Amino acid sequence: MKTQVGIIGAGPAGLMLAQTLRGYGIDCVILEQRSEEYVLSRIRAGVLEHPTVEFLHEMGAGERLAKEGMPHEGIDLLFRGEKRRIDFPSLTGGKKVTVYGQQEVVKDLILLKKEFDGQILFEAEDVAIHGAESDTPSLSFTHEGQTKTLACDFIAGCDGFHGAGRKSIPEQKLRLFEKVYPFAWLGVLAEAAPAQDELIYSRHEDGFALFSMRSPEVTRLYLQCDPDENLEEWPDSRVWDELHKRLEAKDGFRVNEGTIIRKDVTPMRSFVCETMRHGRLFLAGDAAHIVPPTGAKGLNLAAGDVKLLSEGLADFYKSGSTAKLDGYEALALKRIWAAQRFSWFMTSLLHKFPDGAAFDHEIQFADLDFYTGTETGRRNVAENYVGLPFGWSG
């Protein structure tokens, strides 16, 4: 087999790259280790930044998003029982975010790739990268019991944190940064109408809580918990008690209860692999960076990487110039570190740190007062939340 760009991974990064390359007339094949059903059922992020929504429209993947996505013009930060709203459009020149589940983005993009050329192979196992430093790289893999080779001009490692892309880069070349947090999120998906139209991020003395949604019928909720939390110890009644307590507000807000259809625990880490290129292998998305979910940046960062990488590849095929590909890593890292800072900031602002002293807690409240009580503070949160422009360089 032969293609121009071999893409490892059919998550948001790999699928957006494939759809964008299609627009440039560049061929690609996606190799995904999991089954299509598995990929489609993975519940993850829910908030799309303003630039991500524009990008999805630009690449021709915005049809259902326009109909079913829920535009949000603000968020509430809840502390000491009071909700303080941050209004996005008035602080960012009219921008907003859209709530549309990651699995919906993935579903739309898989369909587009299948309808276009069908070059997406699920259950492709043992994917291995060969000759990344040569002009003729290739991918070997096993599919339907046969060992195959895909010759390519370039390889895109869009295979998430545990993928083969980053692992194939020689260790001495890797520039890695990591921070692990002493808590996790217990997430639940409930068949309950969202009790209000916008998200609530709560700093509560018993720990962080987040009120979000997926549709007019489905609420998504998160609770700060221990990283090694045992879900067996969280019967539905305990989940609801804790959510009511942590999200209760003086304005009478109360979450609506409903059947819990999913419960999961997400660990929290900040991670950056600054080495996003090794010869003709380029990393994009979670393969190169992980953010703690507070701030909803994960999927949006993947979109920013893909935008830059696709432009670099387009330039190469159009004019033979490698200038943009050569600049990909440095430019992508600017926005990645900005989002890392914001995700770390939101995480630090809103969680209860197990070893936090009374002094640290009061600093959190002083920060919450500043970031919600001054226009400078609110603008800072709003600009970062709706998303810095793709290709942002400071």
- Residue 125 Cβ vs ligand DHB, minimum distance, rounded to whole Å: 30
* CA–CA separation, 151 and 133 (whole Å): 14
Q: Among the candidate windows 7-15, 114-122, 233-241, 244-252, which touches ligand FAD by CB under 6 A?
A: 7-15
Chain position carrying tokens 């660990």 = 267
Q: What does 220 bind: ligand DHB, ligand FAD, none (CB cut-off 5 to 8 Å by kind)?
A: ligand DHB
- Length, in residues, of the chain: 394
Q: Which residues are catalytic?
A: 72, 201, 293, 297, 385
Per CB under 6 A, the list member of 28, 39, 313, 339 interacting with ligand FAD is: 39
Region 237-276 residues binding ligand FAD, contact defined as CB under 6 A: 266
SS3 119: coil
What tokens does 253 get? 């807000």
Q: Please tell me the distance from the alpha carbon of residue 15 to that of residue 103, in angstroms, as a whole number.
A: 12
Q: Which does 212 bind (CB under 5 to 8 A by kind): ligand DHB, ligand FAD, none?
A: ligand DHB
Residues lying near ligand DHB in the complex (CB under 6 A) are found at 45-47, 199, 210, 212, 220, 293-296
Decide: is 32 part of the binding site for ligand FAD (CB under 6 A): yes
Burial group, residue 58, by CB count within 10 angstroms (0-12, 13-18, 19+): middle
Is the CB of residue 56 less than 8 Å from the CB of residue 34? no
Q: Could you say which of 17, 28, 45, 99 contacts ligand FAD (CB under 6 A)? A: 45
At its nearest, how many Å lie between ligand FAD and the CB of residue 143? 11
Contact 276, 283 (CB under 8 A): yes
Rounded Cα distance, 78 and 209, in Å: 9
Considering the complex, what minimum distance in angstroms separates the CB of residue 16 from ligand FAD? 8
Among 6, 11, 207, 312, binds ligand FAD (CB under 6 A): 11
Whether the CB-CB separation of 346 and 340 falls below 8 Å is answered with no
CB nearer ligand DHB, residue 119 or residue 219:
219
333 contacts ligand FAD (rule: CB under 6 A)? no
Task: Tell me whether residue 228 is exposed, middle or buried, using C-beta atoms within 10 angstroms of its C-beta: 0 to 12, 13 to 18, 19 or more.
Answer: exposed
CB of 327 to ligand FAD, least distance (A): 21
Q: Is 108 in the site for ligand FAD (CB under 6 A)?
A: no
Judged by CB under 6 A, the number of residues near ligand FAD is 33
Distinct helix (H) and strand (E) counts, the chain: 12, 20
Q: Residue number with the shortest CB distance to ligand DHB? A: 46
**Is residue 159 near ligand FAD by the rule CB under 6 A?**
yes
Name which of 352, 340, 351 is nearest 384 in CA terms. Answer: 340
Q: Is 55 helix (H, G, I), strand (E, B) or coil?
A: helix
Residues that bind ligand FAD (CB under 6 A): 8-14, 31-34, 39, 44-45, 102, 124, 127, 158-160, 162-164, 266, 285-287, 293, 296-299, 302
